[in-house]
Structure 1
Amino acid sequence: MIVKGHPVVLVKIGGCCFSDKKVPRSFHSNIMRHLLEQLGKIPVHPVIVHGGGSFGHPIAKEYRIQDGFNKEVDDQRAGFSFTHDAMVDVNQKIMRLLLDAGIPAYPLQSSALFMLESGKIDSSFLEPVVALIERGFVPVLHGDTAIDLTRGIGILSGDTIIVELAEKLPFEQRHLIYLLDVDGLFDKNPNIHHDAELIRSIHIKNGEITFHDSSGEKQLNFSDNAVSGTIDVTGGIEFKLRELSRLTHENMEAFLVNGCKKNTLIDLHAGRLKDYTIVHINTGG
C-alpha cells in the first residue's frame, strides 16, 4: 500500500522485463502484473520510470532519432512522432496494471518535462513530479523522444531520467532500483557465457567505476558484460552505470536486480534476496 510519507525510491523498469526486444510491441503482462503487485505491497513511495522495450526502440533505430535531424532519413519527423506514440502505447499498458494493483499512479509525458542539448539533459521541469509525490501519487515517467536544442530532435533515455530525478528531487531518497532480466552485472554476458560470474558490489566515486575480486580492486571493463543481441538505442547496462557516475550526492545506493523472477522486490526489501548487484555511489569507504 502506498502511504504518503514513506521513503521515496526511484524504480527503473527495464524494457526487458515486459517485452521481448526482438518481437515488436510484445508485452509480458503476467510478469509485469506480478512485479507491480509487489511494488504495492512494500512500504516505499515509488517514482517509476520505464523503458521502451520493443515498442519505442525499433522505431527510433529505423528513423535514427538518436542522431538528430538527418536529411538522409526519409520521413524522420513522422518517425519521431511514431516513436513517441509507441511509448505512449506501452505506458498505457503499464498504467492499467498499476491501477489494477491499487497503486495511485499518474503518468507524466517525459518529453514535456525535459529538453536536450547534444543528447544530454539541458533543462528539466520537475514541479509536477514533486507535486504528485507530495499529494500521495506515484509519478510514472518513461523514455521518450525529446526536443534537442542542438540536433533538433533526440532520444531521452529512462536511465538518464532516473538519474536526473535522483540528483534533483527535493526528497531524502537514497535508493534506486533497476529491474532487469538478469540478476545484476556479470563479468561476461550471461546470455552467451555459462561461466559468467555475478559482480555483487560496485563502487562509483569521482566518476570512476570499480569492483573487487580475489586479486583486489579493478577498474570496470565494459568489453563484454552488457547484455547484447537486442536493439537498445540508449546504450544498455554500461550506460546505466555511466549515468549513475554523474550523481553528486553522497551515500546513495543502486540495486541491479532481476525483475522477471518471483518476489524480487519483496525479497530485496526484506533482505532475503541473494543474487543482485549493489552499486555504492560516493560512499565514504
Structure 2
Amino acid sequence: MYTFIKFGGSVITDKTGREAADLVVIERLAHAVAEARAADPNLALVLGHGSGSFGHHYAARYGVHRGIPLSADHTGFALTAAAALRLNRIVVDTLLAAQVPAVSFQPSASLQSTNGQIITWETAPIAEALQRRLVPVIHGDVAFDTAQGTAIISTEALLSFLALRSPLQPRRIILVGEAAVYTADPHRDPTAQPIPLINQENIAQVLVMTGGSRAADVTGGMRSKIELMWHLIERLPELEVTLIGPDPALLTAALLGQSLAMGTVIKRW
C-alpha cells in the first residue's frame, strides 16, 4: 500500500518572493520523513512538491499555463521548467542528506497533456524505484499540450494520475501546506475556524467556503485542491486525504497513521 506526500510550494518557499526556498522548513520535513521510514520500514512513499516562488513566477509572467502556440517564442516555457528543477534539486538533496533515498523524476520528460489534463505519462520507472525501496520525488511542471501548446501540471494532478491510472494506488495522501481547511481564509478573517473532517455530508458547503491562493499560483487555490482530492475519493472510496501544516511532528504522525492534534481529514464517510 502506498502513501503519497505533497510539500506545498507555499510552505517550502516564500511564494511572494522569487526563488526563495525555505531551507529550514525543507530540512525539518525531510527529517520527519526519515523518522517515519525508520519507525516503519514498510512505508512506500511517493513524494511530490509544488514550485512555489520558483516555477509560478515564470509561468504567470509568460502565460505558460494559458498555452503558448507552436510558432511562438517558448523561452518562458524553458525558464519555468528550469526554475521548477532548481527547487526540485534542493528538495531531493535535502532528503538525501537526511538519509532518505530520494530519486528525482521530472514529469515533463515523459508526460503529455491536452487542455491542461494529463493524457499520457510513463510511470513505470517510478514503480521500479519503489520496488527498490527508493522514494520517487516528482514536482509540479510544464507540459507540451496537444490542444493549447503548453500547460502547467500541478503536483495534485500528478498524484491523481498516479492514483487512478497507474498500479500505484494510494491508501493515504498527505498534503503539507495550510494547517487545515478553514471556514474562511485564516489570513484575512480572524474568526475562521478549522474544519477537522470533510466527508460527503459537508463537502458541498466546504467548497462554497474555500477560496483561492493569496500569491501567484497558476494551479489554483485551496478550492481546486479540495475538488481534485474529493474526485479521487469518489473513485477510491477507501482513500484518506490529510491536510496538515509544516510541523514535522505532525508529518511523522500522519505517515505512521497516528491521530493528529491539528489538521483536516478528507474521506468518504
Contact 1:63 1:76 in 2 (8 A): no
Aligned partners of 2:212 and 2:220 also within 8 Å? no
Partner of 1:239: 224
Partner of 1:30: 24
* Distance change in 2, residues 1:69/1:171 (3 Å): closer
Which residue matches 1:57? 56
Q: Provide structure 2 residue ranges, at least 5 long, that are not aligned to the other structure.
A: none
- Alignment-mate amino acid for residue 40 of structure 1: A
- For the pair 1:265 / 2:239, whether they are aligned, the reply is no
Deviation at 1:114, TM superposition (A): 2.0
Residue 184 (structure 1) shift: 1.2
CA distance in 1, matches of 2:188, 2:172: 30
TM-score (normalizing by structure 1): 0.86
- What is the identity percentage for the equivalent residue pairs of Structure 1 and Structure 2? 26
User: 2:19, 2:168 → 1: CA distance?
Assistant: 35
Partner of 2:74: helix, strand, or coil? helix
Partner residue in 1 for 2:165: 168
CA contact (8 A) 2:15 2:216 kept: yes
Indicate conservation of the 8 Å contact 2:69/2:148, yes or no.
no
Distance apart, 1:194 and its partner CA: 0.8
Q: Which residue of 2 aligns with 1:68?
A: 67
| In 1: Cα distance, 2:259 partner to 2:197 partner | 16
Contact 2:213 2:220 in 1 (8 A): no
Say whether the 8 Å CA contact 1:116–1:149 is kept in structure 2. yes
- When structure 1 is superposed on structure 2, of 95-104 and 75-84 the one drifting more is 75-84
1:47 is aligned to 46
1:187 matched to 2:183:
yes
CA-atom RMSD in angstroms = 2.0
Distance of 2:44 and 2:212 partners within structure 1:
29
Instruction: Name the structure where strand makes up a greater proportion of residues.
Output: 1
SS in 1 for 2:157: helix
In structure 2, C-alpha distance between the alignment counterparts of 1:270 and 1:254, rounded to whole Å: 12
Shift of residue 150 of structure 1? Answer: 0.7
Residue identity in the other structure for 1:90:
L
CA contact 2:207–2:227 (8 Å) conserved in 1: no
**Residue 264 of structure 1, CA deviation:** 1.7
* 1:23-73, Cα deviation, whole Å (9 max, x unpaired): 1000111111011111011122210111000000010000001111259xx
Q: For each residue in 1:72-129, what CA deviation from the matched residue of structure 2 results, as whole angstroms up to 9, or x when unmatched?
A: xx97400000000000100011111010000111001111232101111111211111
How many residue pairs were aligned? Answer: 261
Contact 2:11 2:25 in 1 (8 A): yes
Residue 214 of structure 1 corresponds to none
More helix by share: 2
Alignment partner, residue 79 of structure 1: 76
In 2, Cα distance between the equivalents of 1:172 and 1:70? 35
